[in-house]
Structure 1
Amino acid sequence: MKKIFTCLLPIILLAFLSFPSLAQQGLLRYADRKAVEENYFEAGKGYAEAFAKKPSYRAAKGAAIAYEKMRDYSRAYEWWKRVVAYGDAIQSDRLAYIAAANQAGKIEAVFEALDSIGTSKPEALRNLNLDSLRRWYDAAGGNTGVRRLEKINGASADFGWTKAANGRVYFSSDRGGSGDRKRSGLRIDNGYRYYAKSSDWTGRNFLSIYSVDEAGKVLRFEPPVPDVFHASDPFPLADENLIFYTVTRDIRQSNDYEVHPEIFYSRLDASGNPVDFVGLPANAPLEYGLKSPFVDESQNRLYFSSNMPGGYGGYDLYVMEFDEGYKFGAPVNLGPLINTAGNEIDPFIRNGRFYFASDGHTGLGGLDIFVSDKRGNEFLGVKNMGLPYNSPQDDFGFFESADQAVVISSNRPGSTGLDDLFELETLGVDFRAQVVACDGTAVTGTLDVQMTEGSEKQTVAVQQGPAGELRATISADQEQEISIKKEGYFALEDKSLSSRGLSEGKLEKTYQLVKIPYRTAVYVDLVYYNLDQSEIREDAEAPLDKIAELLTSYSFLNIVVRSHTDARASNAYNEILSEKRADAVRDYLGKFGIARSRIQAEWLGETELTSNCGEGLPCSEENYQLDRRTELLLLAFPEVGKTYPVPPEMQGIDLCDVSNLPLPEELPTIYFGFDEAELSLQDKMALERVALMLRNMLNRRLAITGHTDNRGSAAYNEALSERRALVVKNYLEGKGIASDRLVYEFFGKRKPVNDCDNVPCTQEMHRLNRRTELSLPRSIPRLNKHWSQKE
């Protein structure tokens, strides 16, 4: 789009100059003549004075073009606004008005003008991609901005900042008083050319190179080249005391009025002063210009800008190779990917990226800064660097120092001179987070959110939305931490937040809050007692030791101790006896340092028998034994309403799946006698524990598999293994376990623990093959489809 703006101006100018005028006034004739001479300083004054005497479309348009040529964008915008108010205004005037509004920073006026064009754009505007302006501005933001270098910038034009390896800074400027001008009749244009006609003076001083030492003192750098009017574009080398620069010299001949810039280089002494000078062999100041030198010392290549014949437009970018003695090869044009029909200047390379300024590639206005990835001699695309590197005005002179300071040159709003130096700075980062539940829906309601940043843990204000949205402005290049709490959910902490190295000015996160499964059984066991006794038996010590170990290891666990008796003796006696049994367990665990506050004791007497041995009913001693028991239930997160952090032992576990919460269970294996499928007392005691687990862990299912040893036929053993699986399944169903939570399989002798067909087996080895195995699968297999509800 800028390219089109630039190309349209000569067309507009020529059309305007050819506009017939039957009664031109003296001021208009004077302004016309100065415009033809490209003395826009005087032309603009003439048109403005003519308009003041008698407003007209012609005078307004002449002033608009003149001030646009002078890069006085604010005045150009005001004059173009007058132009388009006339009925004589044409389509190209409206386009020029949009360009002027953009360059003057009148963004709302740009959008209003774009909206007025509508979808049916005139033919002259149809292919201009004006909507790209809206896209760039809508994408504005990020975590970078720019600030003026106050210690250098002034009312003058200051641009082209570079920094040497020794810390000395160089830049170009037209600062200085009128006494600095040796020839007041010299006109300077944007290409640093000069003309000899006294009427062509722009009113600005000569360009010079200045340096800033580490103490901040600004000194004028005087190139030793004789007869220099302009000196600019300093580029000091890092590995040698050498500096390249651009000069314009007084080398006019009798009929030569136009002189182009050249590139020279000088060696520097210990104080940074030049001791000699050498011009590039490609210099031809009476034919074309060379400027903007950049030296890639790692590759012995000099990049520069030139309008020499054979290019693609105005100034193109070129490269020349040189040897250790600085003997330069022929200039090579960087090609049509980089160069356009417009102007390309200020090449710079850092970390495989090629930066340059252009008014030919599509951008925001005037010169913009672009970047291309460079692989060897190949360039991979060209990208506009967007805001804040670029603005509606001219942006150029990208330089990144070894300490990663990035400085650009620009005449954007906020500049005090014709051009100013701006340093990129890191701004605040927009932090946004969404808090969701396990099912992905937003967690609504008030959250307790705390956020800090930096080593001093500075508090960051966080705003909350009604649907779990969090938003804050955090500092860039800092480490942050956030904690999120809500009643009924695990407290969440993120200590890995960081705004360092963000390519955009935002940091987005999604956090999942998990509901706390209060009082969830995660481990169970049973201990048994002798008749009318409460002492801990020897066979109860191992289970209790395991319980103590788990309570010691996991602070989020408490235990419920539920003690029972058989039905013999009175209810009152049995209640007291069950209390003694609960106390015995509590005392035993206390030896391991388990606080009594973590032990909830219940004594139930004979109210919850596991057998059918009610009072007065005949019963075997074996079933009485099963009733004399204490149930041990480890409960996770026992305090309902308390906000628990995710336990360290469960970090990284998907707690949305409740089955991930229980601790690993140790399930028994039931062994049988030869050719038997009956359960012993020990087997029933073991299965009581399994039933207790399934009654308290409703998310669990049980897989049951029956096996035999290798003796007997395959068919007989197949049936026997089924009976062994069914005897276990039927026992658990009798204890209240729903049939749809149990599945059984039988394998006969096909899956032995010991291969007794090929190895002689002892009786013990045969016993290990006669078994029913229990497991807790994630999902119940349907291999043989022996679901209990289908029996």
Structure 2
Amino acid sequence: MVLNMKKIFIYFLPVILFSAIVCQVQAQSGLLRYAERKALESNYFEAANGYSKAYNKKATYAAAKGAAESYTYLRDYQKSYDWWVKAVNFPEATNNDWLAYIAAANQADRNEAVFLALDSLTGTTLGPNLNLDSLKYWYGNKPNSAVVGVDGLNTNSAEFGFSKDSHGTVYFSSDRGGELDRKKKGLRIDKSYKYYNKKSDWTGRDYLSIYKMDESGEVTKVSVPVPDVFHSTDPFVLQKSPVLFYTVSREIRDSGSYEVYPEIYYSSINEEGQLTDFKGLSINAPLEYSLKTPYVDEEENRLYFSSDMPGGFGGFDLYYMNYSDDFVFEAPVNLGSEINTTGNESNPYLREGKLFFASDGHIGLGGLDLFESKVLGDGFSGVKNLGIPYNSPQDDFAFFITSDNKTILSSDRPESRGWDDIFELETRYKDFQALILGCDGEQLTGNLEVSLMEGSDRINVEIVQDGKGKLEASVAPEEDFEIVIKKDGYFSIHDKSLSTKGLKETSLEKTYQMVRVPYNTTAYVDLVFYNLDESAIREDAKPSLDKVAELLKSYSFLNIAVRSHTDSRASEEYNEALSERRADAVRDYLGQFGIARSRIEASWFGEKEPTNNCGDGVPCPEDQHQVNRRTELLLLAFPEEGKAYQLPPEMQGLDLCDVSNIQLPADLPTIYFGFDQASLSVNDMMALERVALMLREMLYHRLEIKGHTDNRGSDAYNEKLSEKRALVVKKYLEDKGIAPSRLNYEFFGKKNPINDCGDQPCTPNMHKENRRTELSLPKLKKDWTNKEE
């Protein structure tokens, strides 16, 4: 008996399973038919539930695609993406399904899925409404700004649209107020601006209304005087007159099932801010087509709006109607194929010669995107997607610019608190602008080698230059930067102080001065002297050479020119060899300090360049011959012509457009005289030879010469004597080739003594200190070698 029962069970098992499968198929078929019927009724909420249940009964391509499409209509982008993932994995999936999957991935902010799908669809026809190359470009470039919710307007409901009157009152749309009883008529306007019939009942949310926020932040509902209104939305307030345009959908008492389409009305606003009257456009046809999103160009007396009236390009198109001062409107004019597409265009807005609008027909990031087009008379030129962050994978619309240049838009992007939010564009990235000037204040023309680096990782920032000394870039907020600017023949600029941290302004502006490298500029001079027929370094020369060696050791941008000479006694051949030995003696002395010979340019002239007229056959006293036995020491800054020198840190902050700032101040001598004398000793001559050499090499310097006496003798006599003492120095320097215009002399007699010998007796040495001629440079520059300053 058991065996027989087992056989019966085995016999009936296929029948049972087949019956279950048939029931399951029939159940799924019923759910699919229900879902399809609800989709035809535009009740996508119930359609999505039906397709989802059908798929759970049996995973089929039709159920997955139906659920994906339903959630797309509901603009639930995450669920839409989840279902398209399922749909495209069926073998029945088409290229159009893949295109819808990419759109859903884009709208769900799944960029990686977009780019992976791009590879899968290479070579296929992607359709007119999605350009993956554009998507890749938009997502691959960091936006220069971000959006933030406008304070006081957004809730967890839907808020969208923005219009502001001349008193600062903001008008917007919202369905705040909570969920309604499901029995209430389910008429609903959403972002796609499709208005559904009374049977749709698919959201359970409150109707849309117009609200306003005053300058104090108080929000109140605006009561629309049009009777039997379900929705009132899209407010646009005029600036020159107290009039508000808006969109309504209203209950029209008629039998049967029908779709109610929105209309455009306008009302006057009284002093209390209330709408007092109403008038609809003559072209309103609420049982035939829609009118919505009014915008008024008050300068041109022109009303712009969106409509799906017959005769358009498909979906909603943008139109305008001219009107008279008393609001008599002419026939509507379609904006044409440059603006309108087979998709939907809405939310027109004009500013500074541009038309801004929303569209899902032009190439975009997904859903409605914001676009702009140049206004040319009654026509338009080009359509440009505003890109990120104006646009997102979701819907972005209702563009507006306030009188204080704040950019406003509406969106249901992920940052939204509710169904839609009103956002303000906030500049994240700062505009960096640098002007590069030369020494004369002129903009530096020609190409510059520029590196702008961000943060501790020194990420290169793209920078644009106009070839006329202007640099521009977008730089991240709250970051540190450094910039390096190079040009052949100029000191490079290296600024590590750039920062946008705490920067409230929208731009970071800098002006830099680029200075030509003053190649082979004499920075310091000195002289050493020799005994007759000798090349050995004298003791009195060692302090000078020690200082030169120290400067060469400390500053790599200095080299030295060593130029040696002899007097005229002995033959030319002998003297040339002697001057060479003197140059070698200086090189050897500096070599003791580690100064490389490559930094010492030695030359020798024998008796060819005397400082006076003591040439061959000319009788001269010994002191005249002594000043000819010399080696000139010239420290040259930036000696390698064409080398790209960095600005030495010691010279940071100096005005190097003035070459004299590179030159070190010399230790100028004071010339002392014997009693009642105005003649120079050999030591005085050697001291003045150094001064003459400095003035010949440093042409920007002018010398002050001031003569003095002691207090013995009359005022008149001493005044003349002090003049002679100043003039003897001046004449000596003039004889060395220094232009008289560079030598300014004064004389003071006994007026300015070093030692006051009037009331107290002075020693002979104290009197000698008063008998002097002082030398000074009137514009003595800072000594950049003095590190303590």
Deviation at 1:143, TM superposition (A): 2.1
Report the equivalent of 1:98: 102
CA separation of 1:609/1:466 partners in 2, compared to 1, >3 Å: closer, same or farther?
farther
Report the equivalent of 2:723: none
Residue of 21, 31, 37 corresponding to 2:35: 31
Residue of 75, 82, 87 corresponding to 2:86: 82
Residue 276 (str. 1) matches residue 277 (str. 2)? yes
Q: Secondary structure at the match of 1:198?
A: coil
CA separation of 1:309/1:83 partners in 2, compared to 1, >3 Å: closer, same or farther?
same
Quote the Cα distance in structure 2 between the aligned partners of 1:467 and 1:63: 45
RMSD: 5.4
Q: Secondary structure at the match of 1:154?
A: coil
Report the equivalent of 1:9: none
Report the equivalent of 2:234: 233
Report the equivalent of 1:454: none
Give the number of aligned pairs. 555
Q: Secondary structure at the match of 1:399?
A: strand
Quote the Cα distance in structure 2 between the aligned partners of 1:443 and 1:318: 49
Q: Secondary structure at the match of 2:650?
A: coil
CA separation of 1:25/1:561 partners in 2, compared to 1, >3 Å: closer, same or farther?
closer
Report the equivalent of 2:137: 135
CA separation of 1:431/1:22 partners in 2, compared to 1, >3 Å: closer, same or farther?
same
Report the equivalent of 1:650: 657
Q: Per-residue displacement from partner, 1:334-375 (whole Å, max 9, x unpaired)?
A: 111111111110011111111000111111111110001113
Q: Which moved more, 1:41-50 or 1:55-64?
A: 55-64
Q: Which amino acid aligns with 2:158?
A: A
CA separation of 1:510/1:78 partners in 2, compared to 1, >3 Å: closer, same or farther?
farther
Report the equivalent of 2:709: none
CA separation of 1:621/1:106 partners in 2, compared to 1, >3 Å: closer, same or farther?
same
Q: Per-residue displacement from partner, 1:396-425 (whole Å, max 9, x unpaired)?
A: 100111011111111112223221211110
Residue of 602, 616, 619 corresponding to 2:617: 619
Q: Secondary structure at the match of 1:643?
A: helix
Q: Secondary structure at the match of 1:650?
A: coil
Quote the Cα distance in structure 2 between the aligned partners of 1:127 and 1:367: 11
Report the equivalent of 2:414: 413
CA separation of 1:311/1:382 partners in 2, compared to 1, >3 Å: closer, same or farther?
same
Deviation at 1:240, TM superposition (A): 1.2
Q: Secondary structure at the match of 1:33?
A: helix
Report the equivalent of 1:402: 403
Q: Secondary structure at the match of 1:161?
A: strand
Quote the Cα distance in structure 2 between the aligned partners of 1:272 and 1:614: 100
Residue 377 (str. 1) matches residue 378 (str. 2)? yes
Q: Which amino acid aligns with 1:619?
A: G
Pairs within 5 Å for 1:758-777: none
Deviation at 1:194, TM superposition (A): 4.3
Residue of 585, 607, 610 corresponding to 2:608: 610
Report the equivalent of 2:118: 114
Pairs within 5 Å for 1:529-608: 566=567
CA separation of 1:607/1:627 partners in 2, compared to 1, >3 Å: closer, same or farther?
farther
Report the equivalent of 2:172: 171
Residue 312 (str. 1) matches residue 313 (str. 2)? yes
CA separation of 1:567/1:99 partners in 2, compared to 1, >3 Å: closer, same or farther?
same
CA separation of 1:282/1:497 partners in 2, compared to 1, >3 Å: closer, same or farther?
farther
CA separation of 1:31/1:279 partners in 2, compared to 1, >3 Å: closer, same or farther?
same
Residue 53 (str. 1) matches residue 54 (str. 2)? no
CA separation of 1:383/1:613 partners in 2, compared to 1, >3 Å: closer, same or farther?
closer
Q: Per-residue displacement from partner, 1:221-258 (whole Å, max 9, x unpaired)?
A: 11111111010001111111111110011114224611
CA separation of 1:611/1:101 partners in 2, compared to 1, >3 Å: closer, same or farther?
closer
Report the equivalent of 1:285: 286
Q: Which amino acid aligns with 2:135?
A: L
Q: Extract unaligned runs of 5+ from structure 1.
A: 1-20, 452-459, 527-555, 570-605, 656-660, 663-687, 698-791
Quote the Cα distance in structure 2 between the aligned partners of 1:135 and 1:614: 78
Quote the Cα distance in structure 2 between the aligned partners of 1:407 and 1:345: 16
Residue 347 (str. 1) matches residue 357 (str. 2)? no
TM-score between the two structures when normalised by the length of structure 1 = 0.59
Quote the Cα distance in structure 2 between the aligned partners of 1:105 and 1:467: 26
Q: Per-residue displacement from partner, 1:575-625 (whole Å, max 9, x unpaired)?
A: xxxxxxxxxxxxxxxxxxxxxxxxxxxxxxx99633599999952359998
Deviation at 1:178, TM superposition (A): 3.4
Q: Secondary structure at the match of 2:651?
A: coil
Quote the Cα distance in structure 1 between the aligned partners of 2:109 and 2:216: 36
Contact 1:153 1:421 in 2 (8 A): yes
Pairs within 5 Å for 1:142-181: 142-149=143-150, 151-179=152-180
Q: Which amino acid aligns with 2:248?
A: V
Q: Per-residue displacement from partner, 1:177-224 (whole Å, max 9, x unpaired)?
A: 334889334355655554444354333321111111112121111111
Quote the Cα distance in structure 2 between the aligned partners of 1:127 and 1:189: 21
CA separation of 1:335/1:474 partners in 2, compared to 1, >3 Å: closer, same or farther?
closer
Q: Per-residue displacement from partner, 1:656-685 (whole Å, max 9, x unpaired)?
A: xxxxx99xxxxxxxxxxxxxxxxxxxxxxx
CA separation of 1:310/1:498 partners in 2, compared to 1, >3 Å: closer, same or farther?
farther
Report the equivalent of 1:63: 67
Contact 2:567 2:610 in 1 (8 A): no
Quote the Cα distance in structure 2 between the aligned partners of 1:426 and 1:70: 32
Q: Per-residue displacement from partner, 1:137-193 (whole Å, max 9, x unpaired)?
A: 112x13211112353222211111222221111111111133488933435565555
Q: Extract unaligned runs of 5+ from structure 2.
A: 1-24, 437-443, 464-470, 528-556, 571-603, 640-646, 664-688, 699-789
CA separation of 1:563/1:317 partners in 2, compared to 1, >3 Å: closer, same or farther?
same
Quote the Cα distance in structure 1 between the aligned partners of 2:611 and 2:295: 100
Pairs within 5 Å for 1:697-716: none
Q: Secondary structure at the match of 1:398?
A: strand
